[in-house]
Amino acid sequence: MLNINNGPELRNEINLIINRISNELINEFGKSKDEAMDLINRSEVEASLIKDKMGFHESPYNWAISILTEHNDYEALEKYLDH
C-alpha cells in the first residue's frame, strides 16, 4: 500500500474500506485473501481514494463489482450474481 502523509485518520479509513472490499471479494465472490488483495492493489483502490474521497461513499460490495469488472473476471461475477 502507498505511504501517504494525509494523517492517521485517512490511513485508518483507507485500511478499513480496503479490508471491507477484500471481505466482499472473499465472501461474495469466492476469492482467496491473496487474490482479493492482488485485485485491490492492481486496481489502485488506495490511490483512487486519496485522489477522490467520494469513493468512501461507495459500498464495499460496489467496489468489489467494479474491481471484478475492471479485471474482466466475468466468471466470478456470473457465478455469484446469478444466484
Give the predicted TM-score (pTM) of the model.
0.86
Instruction: Scan for cell 494523517, then name that residue.
Output: 7
pLDDT tens for the chain, 83 residues long, are 444 456 888 899 999 999 999 999 999 999 999 999 999 999 999 999 999 989 999 999 999 999 999 999 999 988 777 76
Tell me, what's the pLDDT at 7? 80
Degrees to nearest 5, angle at CA 25 with 40 and 53: 50
Tell me, what's the pLDDT at 1? 45
What is each CA distance from 30 to 1, 25, 37, 65, 75, in whole angstroms? Answer: 23, 6, 13, 13, 11
